[in-house]
């Protein structure tokens, strides 16, 4: 529903309002109204900017009710499932709860072997462990009640060689909806961000810390701030001239 055209129109209106605001209080009120648009912009940037490869929608998949699957298991005989919806809503795992594994092949090109690579998961409902070529590279251990609709990064701890690799994702959830249900992408965090994304990240954090009571949605806000910090990658911010 939130098309680029809609977000652009909202930006135009709100930046015009900010320009018309005369007091610091009025400017803060306009910025607070702008926060949902900035939030959507940042979510989109996390999933698209610095992207090396977007993984396909169909992955190899296998349920693991007795938790016996090993990270180095051959996955060629597994079934398939889509990652644009919960496994609990698809034939491969309908109404199943517990542990399940996803697997997908991907290729690292020569120019990215020295890059700072990371996987970005737009949303996974469940606890997550990620493996490359059978070796664990990271996990997401916060409760699904907090993380079911939030994105997160899993950084690669070492450089990957050029060529084909296999990503396996172990997901565990014992109730309700479960599984990967939004995009997964390989990101190069060494790549520069657009100036506008840097500006939005700075303004969002400034407004949040100035206005929103710290006791509200503490865990959600901290997770989103952590993702913003990863997006910025600790590079000094420089506001673009046209929006200083």
Q: DSSP string spanning 61-94? A: EEE-TTS---TT---TT-EEEESSS-GGGSTTTT
pLDDT computed for residue 238 by the predictor: 41
Per-residue pLDDT, averaged over 191-199, amounts to 91
**Tokens for 220?**
């959600």
Residue, of 158 and 122, whose pLDDT is higher = 122
Indicate whether 139 pLDDT > 80.
Answer: yes
Tell me the pTM: 0.87
* Contact (Cβ atoms closer than 8 angstroms) between residue 180 and residue 83: yes
- CB contact at 8 A, 102 and 169: yes
Given pLDDT bands bounded at 50, 70 and 90, which one contains residue 158?
A: confident
- Token pair for 109: 């090109």
The tokens describing 195, both together, are 């100036």
pLDDT of residue 172: 98
- Better pLDDT: 93 or 235: 93
The mean pLDDT value for 68-91 works out to 97
Please, are residues 46 and 151 in contact by the beta-carbon 8 Å criterion? yes
Task: Give the pLDDT of residue 236.
Answer: 38
CB atoms inside a 10 Å sphere around CB 16? 10
Overall average pLDDT of the 81-105 stretch: 97
Tell me the mean pLDDT in the region 164-188: 96
Across residues 156-161, what is the average pLDDT?
Answer: 80
User: How much is the pLDDT for 235?
Assistant: 43
Q: What is the mean pLDDT of residues 85-101?
A: 97
The closest of 112, 127, 196 to 160, measured between CA atoms, is: 112
| More confident site: 239 or 26 | 26
Mean pLDDT value of segment 149-158: 88
β strands within the chain, DSSP E:
51-54, 58-63, 79-82, 98-108, 117-121, 124-125, 127-132, 135-140, 152-155, 163-173, 179-180, 184-188
Please say if the pLDDT value at position 239 is more than 80: no
Q: And the tokens for 208?
A: 């949040």
Return the closest-CA partner of residue 230 out of 156, 153, 157.
Answer: 153
Question: What integer best gives the mean pLDDT of the chain?
Answer: 90
CB of 51 closer than 8 Å to CB of 69? no
pLDDT value of residue 24 = 92
* Confidence label for 84 from pLDDT (cuts 50, 70 and 90): very high
Q: Each residue of 15-24: pLDDT tens digit? A: 999 999 999 9
Per the DSSP assignment, residues forming a β-bridge with 188 are 117
The one-character DSSP state at 161 is: P
**pLDDT (0 to 100) of residue 242:** 41
Q: 218-235 pLDDT, tens per residue? A: 888 888 999 999 888 644
The percent of residues above 90 in pLDDT, for the chain, comes to: 75
């Amino acid at each position: 529903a939130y098309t680029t055209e809609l977000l652009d129109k909202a930006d135009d209106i709100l930046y015009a309002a900010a320009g018309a605001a005369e007091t610091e209080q009025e400017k803060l009120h306009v910025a607070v109204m702008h926060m949902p648009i900035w939030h959507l912009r940042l979510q989109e940037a996390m999933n698209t900017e610095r992207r090396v490869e977007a993984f396909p929608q169909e992955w190899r998949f296998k349920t693991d009710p007795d938790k016996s699957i090993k990270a180095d298991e051959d996955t060629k005989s597994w079934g398939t499932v889509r990652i644009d919806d919960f496994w609990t809503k698809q034939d491969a795992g309908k109404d199943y709860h517990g542990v399940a594994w996803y697997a997908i092949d991907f290729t690292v090109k020569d120019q990215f072997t020295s890059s700072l690579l990371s996987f970005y998961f737009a949303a996974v409902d469940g606890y997550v462990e990620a493996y490359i070529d059978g070796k664990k590279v990271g996990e997401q251990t916060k409760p699904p009640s907090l993380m079911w609709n939030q994105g997160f990064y899993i950084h690669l701890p070492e450089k990957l060689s050029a060529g084909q690799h296999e990503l396996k994702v172990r997901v565990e959830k014992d109730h309700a909806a479960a599984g990967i249900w939004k995009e997964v992408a390989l990101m190069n965090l060494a790549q520069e961000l657009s100036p506008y994304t840097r500006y939005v990240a700075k303004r969002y954090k400034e407004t949040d810390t100035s206005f929103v009571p710290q006791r509200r949605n503490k865990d959600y806000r901290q997770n989103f701030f952590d993702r913003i910090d990863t997006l910025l990658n600790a590079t000094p911010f420089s506001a673009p001239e046209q929006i200083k």
